[in-house]
Structure 1
Amino acid sequence: AETAKAAGFDRVIGFDMGGTSTDVSHFAGEYERTSDAVVAGVRLRAPMLSIHTVAAGGGSICRFDGARLRVGPESAGAVPGPRAYRRGGPLTVTDCNVLLGKLKPGFFPAVFGPGADQPLDAEAVREGFAELAAEVQTATGRATTPEALAEGFVTIAVQNMAEAIKSISIQRGYDVTRYVLNCFGGAGGQHACLVADALGMTTVMLHPFAGVLSAYGMGLAEVRAIRQATAAIPLEATADADMAARVADLSEQARAELTAQGFAGARITIAARAEIKFAGSDTPLTVPFGPADQMTSAFEALHRRRFGFFAEGKALVVETLEAEATGASGETAGTGGDIRDRTPEAATRTPVWMAGESHDAPVYRREDFGPGAA
């Protein structure tokens, strides 16, 4: 989000595709959190960033189960890795992109194989897909090509990732077409445009540090301290003074934690929130803390956007009060150099299989691009 803001975008879908999974997130001015999540089958009740993960990555295994093509959730991992890594691994999404021409062995260092001294093995990938095409034809009676299979697997992976983004945006009342897709992770750039097309998005951002953006973002991250307290009181004006006193106490606790970490008062900001729900329900929504009438209006607007209705006259309950202290890191995300809004010269051209046919595509070097280039 910080890198996107530095580039002038205030509505961001984070798209982090790595080797095993893809993480997606939503940002529209503030970081979204959840206080109730299920991780590996275990329900956790603690504040955390709202990030949705799906099992679709460069190492996701591509297979035919006798009736249909499947992608993941199993991953080839780093060892043996994809078939192209020369360690006898299975066919994966990465191998699909090698076969389709999106990953060119000549642009990668010779660090593969048992001795970590060989290039990507495109021939082994082609042989693997040829064998799979024969298997599909034997099982279904339908002839297919290695390229069609690879593109089919990529389409499945893209749809899985697009559905994940829909779950954090469209299904929650946000118009994703007004957002930028901030693409990062080792495999993100290979699929960003396909994912954007599937969602009707028109802008994709690729930061110069896209391959290591998570690490870069940690250096930009602000330090935060959160304090929560269960309230379980009716949302009424008569409770305003009591709630304000509780929030003030939580704010001081959070501020004290950052002060103990060396943050001066001027570098600390406080934000207060309340989790509100209908009486008798178990689905709270988080709104900025304020007088009861303001929180009621905010809850109504958010509930209508999220669920499409609001139960007029039904009692509301403040379930939890929260104060968050933020200590500014002092680091800022640069844009990566001088603005260059022109497309650089292509380094070479290469055949790439897209949309069911081969295309003669230009190849550009990343270092030739500057901010604004398209």
Structure 2
Amino acid sequence: AMIAAADAAMARALRRVSVERGIDPRGCVLVAFGGGGPLHACSLADRLSMTRILVPPHAGVLSALGLALAPERRVAMTSVMQPAGALDRESLGALARELAERAGGDGDAAWVARMRYRGQGHELEVRFAPPMDGEALAADFAARHRARYGFALESAVEIVSARCTRSTEAPAVTLARRGTPTWRTGSGTGDALRDDGSPCDVLVAGRAVIALPDATLLVAEGWTARALPIGGWLVERDA
């Protein structure tokens, strides 16, 4: 009953980000990660009439893996609050250099200004780079405003703030399987497979439990799991 209640709560959350947004989950793949995600995946997929589940490699620590492999990103921001026309090429270039120095790092620099028409309560982000001046930046803002809202005004344009972002490239990583599967039996029902890097195309029919290095995958009856070459498993509902 406790597991069913938990599954029902998670299914409601999935419906909020799919059905309630006009997305038919039956055509989507359910990505199951986290230490407990693969345990509940088949039940959740059944509740939403989904037919495919992807358990990615390193499912239990997927968020940590993404953080470790993400490109380094440094951001420096400053308030400006000046009319765009008041910034000539030299002053806008000096602002860009100051922000780049504050951001530090060795990545490529990209600059963005938050801009608005005087009196507006919201801003649009506009990219800029030396050797632009404020007038050119104001023209880009007007074009972006027209593209977003369908019109542009003759009002003065203000630069509210500016920021510089330095980003590096993400490291190249190759994911692959290693090792062989090990079957084991226990006092419970169903078979259990310890996935120490099962070779690809191994098929596991439910009901079965696959013990991953950092999570546990429950393959329910009526489902079949297939080991993927990069690691992880693709679980599909039987025809």
TM-score tier (shorter): 0.5 to 0.7
Cα displacement (A) at 1:249: 1.6
Closer, same or farther in 2 for the Cα pair 1:188/1:299, shift >3 Å? farther
Unmatched 5+ residue regions in structure 1?
A: 1-82, 84-90, 97-128, 130-149, 171-178, 259-266, 351-358
Judge conservation of contact 2:205–2:221 (CA < 8 Å) in 1: no
Question: Relative contact order, CA 8 A, sep 6+: which one is greater?
Answer: 2
Judge conservation of contact 1:222–1:328 (CA < 8 Å) in 2: yes
Name the aligned partner's letter for residue 15 of structure 2.
Q
Q: Secondary structure at the match of 1:346?
A: strand
Q: Give the alignment partner of residue 289 of structure 1, picking from 109, 125, 128.
A: 128
Judge conservation of contact 1:158–1:191 (CA < 8 Å) in 2: no
Identify the residue that residue 101 of structure 1 maps to in structure 2.
none
Identify the residue that residue 174 of structure 2 maps to in structure 1.
334
Name the aligned partner's letter for residue 325 of structure 1.
R
1:158 aligns with 2:14: yes
Measure the CA separation in 2 of the matches of 1:203 and 1:243: 52
Measure the CA separation in 2 of the matches of 1:234 and 1:248: 20
1:319 aligns with 2:160: yes
Q: Secondary structure at the match of 1:244?
A: helix
Cα displacement (A) at 1:320: 0.8
After superposition, residues 1-374 of structure 1 pair within 5 angstroms as 91=2, 95-96=3-4, 153-162=9-18, 184-189=33-38, 190=40, 206-236=55-85, 239-241=87-89, 242-255=91-104, 258=105, 267-290=106-129, 291-292=136-137, 293-301=139-147, 304=148, 309-313=149-153, 315=155, 316-328=157-169, 331-337=171-177, 344-349=202-207, 360-364=221-225, 368-371=227-230
Q: Deviations over 1:187-215 (max 9, x none)?
A: 555459969x98xx999764202221111
Closer, same or farther in 2 for the Cα pair 1:297/1:333, shift >3 Å? farther
Name the aligned partner's letter for residue 228 of structure 2.
F
Q: Secondary structure at the match of 2:79?
A: strand
Cα displacement (A) at 1:310: 4.0
Judge conservation of contact 1:250–1:322 (CA < 8 Å) in 2: yes
Q: Sequence identity of aligned pairs in percent?
A: 22
TM-score, normalised via structure 2 length:
0.56
TM-score, normalised via structure 1 length:
0.39
Identify the residue that residue 67 of structure 1 maps to in structure 2.
none
Cα displacement (A) at 1:326: 2.7
Measure the CA separation in 2 of the matches of 1:232 and 1:193: 54
Measure the CA separation in 1 of the matches of 2:146 and 2:30: 29
* Deviation beyond 6 Å, 4+ runs, structure 1: 179-182, 192-195, 201-204
Judge conservation of contact 1:182–1:205 (CA < 8 Å) in 2: yes
Closer, same or farther in 2 for the Cα pair 1:192/1:226, shift >3 Å? farther
When the two chains are superposed, the root-mean-square deviation of aligned CA atoms in Å is 4.3
Name the aligned partner's letter for residue 294 of structure 1.
D
Name the aligned partner's letter for residue 160 of structure 1.
R
Measure the CA separation in 1 of the matches of 2:42 and 2:123: 33
Q: Secondary structure at the match of 1:277?
A: strand
Name the aligned partner's letter for residue 122 of structure 2.
T
Identify the residue that residue 54 of structure 1 maps to in structure 2.
none
Unmatched 5+ residue regions in structure 2?
A: 23-27, 130-135, 179-199, 209-219, 235-239
Q: Deviations over 1:11-47 (max 9, x none)?
A: xxxxxxxxxxxxxxxxxxxxxxxxxxxxxxxxxxxxx
- Pick the structure with more helix per residue: 1
Matched length: 184
Measure the CA separation in 1 of the matches of 2:118 and 2:29: 37
